[in-house]
């Protein structure tokens, strides 16, 4: 999961809209069907700005394009056309949801990651740009793109990490594991629509359970928010992201400990990594050293950290685990 902000006020708390923005401002009564598409866009931008929504102009544009089913180029060419009754109604409904604190990606039901479209549902996190650092780190492990690698994505969610990598490694095969059948259904659809469905399998399970043959790369963006912090997250996160993808236990490191233990073979003596395989984690901005330590204590000889675009330590890669007594890796 990606690190949401803490102590950020929600756009709207129960009991009404903020800063005098009423429902009438958001439904079609506030957007005249005779207004042009460009005027409707300005109306939405103004409403979001008045409500104090960061990135309101971008949000308004996403919503207008979505409800009209058009591209940015088409909007530029048709901005003078009336939005129409259905367009006004649908945009008003979408605005009302956004004013109530629902993230744009949830309203759209899809989001872009690594330049690819991914559908979402209530069981999946919204793919965030920071998580693309996981894809970058994995690709750096094997620069030759035609190797028949085996990939494992633990807690796959929407499948965005696995599907993106399969799109880059054309001969690779991947397994995505998740406890949620709803999330797995979403991931399967995303693999199919992005053209990698025949090279992906999605399995219900709890972390590394019921997995056999070892993998060249194991990836995970696990829950890493400490339990006590959950209540301080922004309302958009608290109310719209699945709790199981956020809560990392008392210190936020519970999932890392378990995954490292199971991947290294400490549980049954059978590592889930090939001898030259690597484990790639997304981590919270202040967790890299802790995860490196967990890896060292489990026997991983090498560890590295990769920063995201904001300069935060975002990805930890562990490699060089020695053989175990029952190790039959090939």
Task: Could you list the residues known to form a binding site for substrate, using ranges.
Answer: 221-224
Give the whole-angstrom CA distance, residue 208 versus residue 48.
43
List, in sequence order, every residue forming a beta bridge with 280; answer none if it has no partner: 219, 317
Give the whole-angstrom CA distance, residue 46 versus residue 292.
46
Q: Backbone phi, then psi, for 199, in 5-degree steps?
A: -115, 20
The annotated binding site for S-adenosyl-L-methionine is made up of 155-159, 178, 207, 221
Give the whole-angstrom CA distance, residue 176 versus residue 165.
12
The annotated binding site is made up of 155-159, 178, 207, 221-224
Q: Backbone phi, then psi, for 303, in 5-degree steps?
A: -145, 145
Give the whole-angstrom CA distance, residue 73 versus residue 113.
21
Give the whole-angstrom CA distance, residue 81 versus residue 91.
15
Sequence-ordered list of residues with C-beta below 8 angstroms from that of 69, at least 6 positions apart, any chain: none
Give the whole-angstrom CA distance, residue 45 versus residue 57.
5
Element containing residue 177 per DSSP (H, E): strand 173-178
Q: Backbone phi, then psi, for 106, in 5-degree steps?
A: -70, -35
Q: Is 193 within 8 Å of 163 (Cβ atoms)? A: no
Give the whole-angstrom CA distance, residue 264 versus residue 74.
52
Give the whole-angstrom CA distance, residue 318 versus residue 77.
50
- Residue 5, classified by CB atoms within 10 Å of its CB into exposed (0-12), middle (13-18) or buried (19+), is exposed
């Amino acid at each position: 999961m990606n690190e949401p902000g803490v102590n950020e006020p929600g756009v709207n708390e129960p009991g009404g809209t903020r800063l005098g923005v009423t429902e009438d401002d958001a439904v079609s009564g506030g957007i005249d069907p005779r207004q042009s598409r460009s005027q409707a866009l300005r109306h939405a931008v103004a409403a979001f700005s008045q409500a104090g929504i960061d990135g309101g102009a971008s949000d308004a544009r996403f919503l207008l394009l979505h409800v009209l089913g058009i591209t940015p180029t088409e909007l530029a060419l048709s901005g003078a056309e009336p939005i129409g009754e259905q367009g006004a109604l649908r945009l008003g409904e979408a605005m009302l949801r956004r004013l109530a604190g629902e993230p744009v990606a949830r309203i759209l039901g899809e989001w872009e990651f690594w330049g690819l479209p991914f559908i979402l549902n209530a069981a999946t996190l919204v793919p965030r740009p920071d998580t693309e650092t996981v894809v970058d780190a994995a690709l750096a492990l094997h620069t030759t793109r035609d190797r028949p690698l085996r990939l494992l994505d633990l807690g796959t969610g929407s499948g965005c990490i696995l599907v993106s990598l399969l799109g880059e490694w054309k001969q690779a095969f991947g397994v995505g594991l998740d406890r949620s059948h709803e999330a797995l259904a979403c991931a399967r659809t995303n693999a199919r629509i992005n053209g990698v469905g025949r090279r992906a399998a999605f399995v219900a399970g709890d972390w590394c359970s019921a997995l056999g043959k070892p993998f060249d790369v194991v990836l995970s963006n696990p829950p890493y928010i400490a339990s006590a912090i959950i209540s301080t997250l922004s309302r958009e996160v608290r109310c719209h992201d699945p709790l199981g993808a956020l809560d990392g236990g008392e210190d936020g490191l519970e999932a890392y400990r378990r995954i490292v233990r199971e991947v290294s073979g400490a549980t049954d003596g059978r590592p889930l990594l090939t001898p030259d395989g690597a484990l790639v984690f997304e981590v919270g901005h202040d967790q890299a050293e802790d995860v490196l330590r967990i890896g060292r204590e489990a026997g991983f000889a090498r560890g590295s950290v990769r920063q995201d675009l904001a300069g935060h330590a975002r990805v930890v890669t562990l490699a060089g685990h020695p053989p175990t007594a029952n190790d039959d890796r090939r």
